[in-house]
Amino acid sequence: MKAHIDTITDLLLGSAYADKRLEGGEIAAIEGMLCKLFAVDALPQAQKDRIAGFNPAKFDATAAAGRLRFESAENKRTVLELIASVSESDDEIDMAEDAYLRKVAAGMGISDADIADLAIEVLEDDELDGILKP
C-alpha cells in the first residue's frame, strides 16, 4: 500500500471534506492514520505538504479509487475502514460522508453489500413497523 500512499492520503482528505466542512479533529485523525501506515512517529514532510496543498474542488474520488482497483481485497477494505474512521472523527456522520464512502468503494469495484457494516443503513417505512415493540 505504500506505493499508493499519495492516493490514500487524498482519499482520506476527500472524506474529511465530503460534508463540505473540515473539522480540526479530522486532519489530526488523518495524520495519525498516516503515521501508523508509515510506522513513524512524525509524518514525513511530503505528506504534510500534500495535506496542506489538497484542493477538494479539484479532487476526483472515483479516479483516485480506481487506482486502487487492483489492490488486494484486504488492502481495499483497510482503505475503506480508514475513510469510515475519518468520517467518524468529527463525531458526526452524515449522508454526504456515506455517499463518499460508497463512491470510493464503487471506484475500487466493491459493492454496497460488501461495505454494509461501514455505511449508513436507511430503513424504509415498512421496516419501521413494530421496531420498538418489546
Q: In a structure prediction context, what are the per-residue pLDDT tens digits for the chain, which is 134 residues long?
A: 678 999 999 999 999 999 888 876 899 999 999 999 889 999 999 999 999 999 999 999 999 999 999 999 999 999 999 999 998 776 666 788 899 999 999 999 999 889 888 876 544 555 445 556 66
Torsion sign, CA atoms 111, 81, 100, 109: negative
* Torsion angle, alpha carbons of 72, 99, 18, 34, to 10: -20
What is the reported pLDDT for 120? 67
Write down the CATH number for the domain with range 2-128.
Answer: 1.10.3680.10
Q: What is the predicted pLDDT for the residue at 123?
A: 41
Cβ-contact 31, 51 below 8 angstroms: yes
Q: What pLDDT score was predicted for residue 128?
A: 47
pTM, entire model: 0.84
